[in-house]
Structure formats: structure tokens, C-alpha cells
Amino acid sequence: MVLKILMLILFFGCMVAVGIYCRRHATDVSGFVLGGRSVGPWLTAFAYGTSYFSAVIFIGYAGQFGWKYGIASTWIGLGNAFIGSLLAWVLLGRRTRLMTQKLSTATMPEFFGKRYLSNKLKIGASAIVFIFLIPYTASLYNGLSRLFGMAFQIDYTVCIIVMAILTGIYVIAGGYMATAINDFIQGIIMLVGIVAVILSVLASKGGFMASLDALARVEDSAVSTTPGVFASFFGPDPINLFSVVILTSLGTWGLPQMVQKFYAIRSEKAISKGTIISTLFALVVAGGCYFLGGFGRLFSDQINIAADGYDAIIPTMLSNLPDLFIGVVIILVLSASMSTLSSLVLASSSTLTLDFIKGLLVKEMSEKRQLFVMRILIVVFIAISAVIAVVQYKANVTFIAQLMGISWGALAGAFLAPFIYGLYWKRTTKAAVWTSFLFGTIIMVLNMCCPTLFPVMLQSPINCGAFAMVAGLILVPVVSLFTKAPERALLDDMFACYNTMVTVPAKEALGDADVK
């Protein structure tokens, strides 16, 4: 117990010290929200990865989907790496950096407002961010509940309060740069921790081959009658598995806290490096989490799914590890949760301040006042999400994965298509953006309140969220073609940022001259 407490004190002390150190970077809005658009590849890539993977993934998703799909759940981690990270950086990184700098935007709603020349779109997008980031933020705490109960036997409420206060301190003090540096530190912990945990858990069952053999012998006639299905390539339910891959991989392209990382990156070279680093990070962390979860059924003699729920699977798998490894796991999950929490509250507060309060409620706001309001709102967001987390835990309202699925589905369903088409296609119209906003949010609210209105396949918020994203990619171009085209001259000026001539070294482009 002393060892675990000392590890926690050291971890929290490091996080707060970084926040205090980074105060000099948070003296204006650009520095506080985007780190002055000068963040390097390692910090940006780790900030992207640690914001992506939280306790929701490690405790909630890995446990639930590992139980449902067996070792095939590893496909989710691979999808996160190659679609959610690699493809996102390739398709969005450079264009997002150029367009947002051209439009002088610091948030996703502000991008929609200036790209589509509509202040109402900006306000609508900021309302969606405010409403749907809260349940996602609340879900981060829940991933820690059983883990801390197992390790410390302390009340879960204490854990929530400590985590909320310490995250608030370093975000309020240092802004984006503090979160980026802390994300880097937390990312290193996550990389080392997940590898150590996988090796330890498999060793407790006789090693990888023995564990895989035991998994192949697991039978569950309620799921499938195929022998060895939980150790198979695609598992017992490949269609629903594909929906999870889409939601958790493609969904990141439309999440404000993820896309905002591209606003802040420093240079072309940083984007190239960041793409590789982010992909490798996702391979280890996401691939490792789902790979570990795939062996959850080997511990079925210790778990009562009907009584304890899916969120008990991973903590049960870890409960028999030595104290040192329990300490590593706690720091691992805290790192994952605090990095995502800091990213979410920074995105929420900056969006509400810059896109809703400034200009709409308060006509003139100085830089100093904007910073003050953002810091106050960070406190508000953290407090609200903490209260929701406590209430949700005490009342056992829903599983972690469901809570996150509703949030991801609504945000990505609303924003994904308008954002991508806004970067690539001049013909995208305001009407099409509104259509995507309304469709994505309404369908997820209906799914949450009245799931029986949907076909069986779409009653799960996971499947419904994936459907909302794919539908948006179809609705936006269709509606755009049937509504009035935007003014061409203004769009040509916006998209001119992609055609600016730059000079590069010969190793990157040969040029027109003959090379001998």
C-alpha cells in the first residue's frame, strides 16, 4: 500500500509541476488554447494518442468487447491505429493546419462559422460540443472506480475529487502546452505499462500459447456454437465488431478535442514525424488493450457478468498481480484518464468562451478576460462531469462503453462529414452542414431515450453512432448538390492557402532542373 501511494504522489506531483512550469506559455488566447501553434511532433503525437485512449478504452471497451469477440477484438485496436491515427493524420493533418491558420480559428465551431460564413453554425456547433462532451468527460472517471476499489479500498468519490482537482490545476495553470507535456509523460507510462501488464496477465495463465489454447476451449452457446470461436480471426460476431471499429476509429476525425491537435502543430516536418509516432503509439496502446481484453473469458470463474457488468473484467484480470504491477496499472489508467480529461475540458471551455460567450453574450472581450472566463469554465466543466460520474456510478445508470458511444456518436455524427468536406470540397453548403448537425445529434438522442424505435441492429449506441457517421458522409454531398452553392470568390480565397508556393530541399522535390 505504501508503494502504491508513493507512486501516486510522485505522479501527481509531476503533473502539477509541469502545469506551473508552463504558465509562461498561457499568457494569451493562442498560447492557452493552441500552445502558440508551435508544438513539435512528439508532443503533438502523444497528445493525440493520450487524448484518444482513456480509462474508457482500457477498462470499459477492452473488457466489454474482449468478452464479446475474444481475441478478434484486437481488430479494434488495429483500426484505431491505421484509421483513427495514420489515415487521420495523412488526410486531415496538413489541410487542417493550413486552413485553420488561414481562417484564424482556434476551435472546431469557429472553423464551421468562418468556413461556411455562418455565425449561427458556430453557435450551433458550440452547443453540440457543450452538451455531448459532458457525458464523455463523466465516463472517464467511471473507468477508475473498480480499479481504485480493488487497489486501495477507498470510496470512489474520493478518487473522482482528487483526479478532478489535480487535472484542473495543471490545465488552468499551463493551458495546452501543459497538457501536451503531461500527455507526453503520461504516454510513456501508458506504453511501458500496457506491455508489462499484458506479459504479466498472460504469464499468470501459462504464457501466450497456453492462454490462446485455453481461450479456444471456451464455449458459450448463447453467443455461438462454433468451437474455438473466441480464439478465431473474426470472432463470433464480425458485423457488430466492424461497427465498433468504425465508431472508435473513424469517429476521431470528427471529435473537437482530437482535431484541435492539428491546429497547434508546428511545421510540415512535424506532421510527417507525428504521423509515424502517433500510429506506433496507437498500435501498442490500443492494440495492446484490446488484445488483453480478448483473454477476459479465461477469468470467467471469477466474474459474474450479470451482477458485476463488463467493467469488472479488466480489474478482475489484474487483481492477482504483484503490488508493483498494480501500482503501474493504476498510474497507467490515471495517465490515460487525466490526459483525455484535460483535453476535453480545454476543448469545452475554449469552445464555449470563444464561440458562444464572446460576440453573442458579451460583445467585446479582452484577451485577459477571455483567459479568465476559460479558466472558470474549466472548473465548471470538471465539477459538472464529476457530479454526473458520482450519480451515474451510485445509480448504475449505464455501462462506460454505452455512455461514451452516445457522446462519440453524436459529436462525430454531427461534425465528421462537414469537417472533412469543408477541407476538401468547395461546393459544401450551409444547409448540408445543418443537416449533418441535426441528423447526428437527433438520432443519438432518440437512440438514448427510445432505442426500441430503431431496428435491432441500431438499438446499440455503438452501432447507431457508426451509422450516424457513415450517413453524414452521404447526406452532406447529396444535400449540397441540391442547395444553393456558396459564393465562389470567397471560397477561392480560402482554398488559396493550399496552393501557396513554398521552397523545399532537393531531397523532398527534384524540381525542374536536370539532376546529374
Read off the pLDDT of residues 209-268 as tens digits, 9 standing for 90 and up.
999 999 999 888 888 888 889 999 899 999 889 988 988 899 889 988 888 888 888 777
What three-state secondary structure class fits 303? coil
Mean pLDDT of the chain: 85
Is the predicted pLDDT of residue 506 greater than 70, yes or no?
no
Long-range contacts of 442-449 (CB under 8 A, 24+ apart): 443/409, 443/413, 443/467, 443/468, 444/132, 444/406, 444/409, 444/410, 444/413, 444/468, 445/410, 447/406, 447/409, 448/406
**pLDDT band at 499, cuts 50/70/90?**
confident
Q: How confident is the model at residue 461 (pLDDT cuts 50, 70, 90)?
A: confident
Flag whether 84 is in a domain: yes
Look up cell 473522482; give the residue. Answer: 160
Q: Tally Cβ neighbours within 10 Å of residue 320.
A: 13
Task: Find the domain containing 158 and state its range.
Answer: 2-397
Return d(Cα 34, Cα 49) in angstroms, integer: 17
Is 302 within a domain?
A: yes
Q: What pLDDT is stored for residue 515 in this prediction?
A: 43
Tell me the three cell numbers of residue 40.
513539435
Half-sphere exposure of residue 318: CA atoms within 13 angstroms, side-chain side: 32
> Is 93 a domain residue?
yes
Cβ atoms of 298 and 214 closer than 8 Å:
yes
Q: Give, in order, the Cα–Cα distances in Å from 274 to each of 86, 262, 277.
A: 9, 10, 5
Residue carrying the nine cell digits 483473454: 295
Residue 265 is classified by DSSP as B
Q: Band the pLDDT of 402: cuts 50, 70, 90.
A: low
User: What is the model's pLDDT at position 338?
Assistant: 78
For 511, counting Cβ atoms within 10 Å of its Cβ (0-12 exposed, 13-18 middle, 19+ buried), the class is: exposed
509 inside domain: no
Q: Is residue 45 part of a domain?
A: yes
- Rounded to an integer, what distance in angstroms lies between the CA atom of residue 303 and that of residue 438? 41
- Structural domain includes residue 146: yes
Grid coordinates standing for 80?
484505431
Residue-wise pLDDT for 22-65, tens only, equals: 887 777 887 888 776 777 888 888 888 888 887 778 877 888 89
> Is residue 408, in this structure, part of any structural domain at all?
no
Instruction: Look at residues 388, 16, 311, 49 and name the one whose alpha carbon lies nearest to residue 191.
Output: 49
Alpha-carbon separation of residue 173 from 20, 21, 166, 177, 446 (angstroms):
6, 9, 11, 10, 39
Average pLDDT over residues 301-324: 80
In a domain, 501, yes or no: no
Q: For the domain that residue 358 is a member of, what is the CATH number?
A: 1.20.1730.10
Tally of domains within the chain? 1
User: For the whole model, what pTM was predicted?
Assistant: 0.86
